[in-house]
Amino acid sequence: MGWIGIAILGAVVGVAGWWLHPLRGRARRGLWRAVLAGIAGAALANAAGRTTGAFLDGETLQWPVCTAVALLAAAAIASLSFRR
């Protein structure tokens, strides 16, 4: 999966993380923050995995690792932005 696939995966996970959050109606910019956090999390996981040699481009391990890190990043940003 190339960088475009990583960005799409991160955006989808960010939207899902925002949508599943119970306080999503309280923050005006929460959706965009969650999407950007998902993209950044997936990109960082992909870069870290390729740098350390944990996986190469297109391997099966790449999808769950990038999805899990993107979900954690989106959940963290959503939780922090909804607390205000």
* Inter-residue contact 40 to 60 (CB < 8 Å): no
Kindly write down the DSSP assignment for every residue of the chain, as one continuous string: --HHHHHHHHHHHHHHHHHH-TTTTS-SSHHHHHHHHHHHHHHHHHHHHHHHTS--TT-TTHHHHHHHHHHHHHHHHHHHHH--
Euclidean distance between CA atoms 12 and 9, whole angstroms: 5
Confidence band (pLDDT; 50, 70, 90) for 60?
A: confident
Q: Where are the domains of the chain?
A: 3-82
Average pLDDT, the chain: 84
Q: What pLDDT is stored for residue 51 in this prediction?
A: 92
Quick: pLDDT tens for 28-48: 667 888 899 999 999 999 999
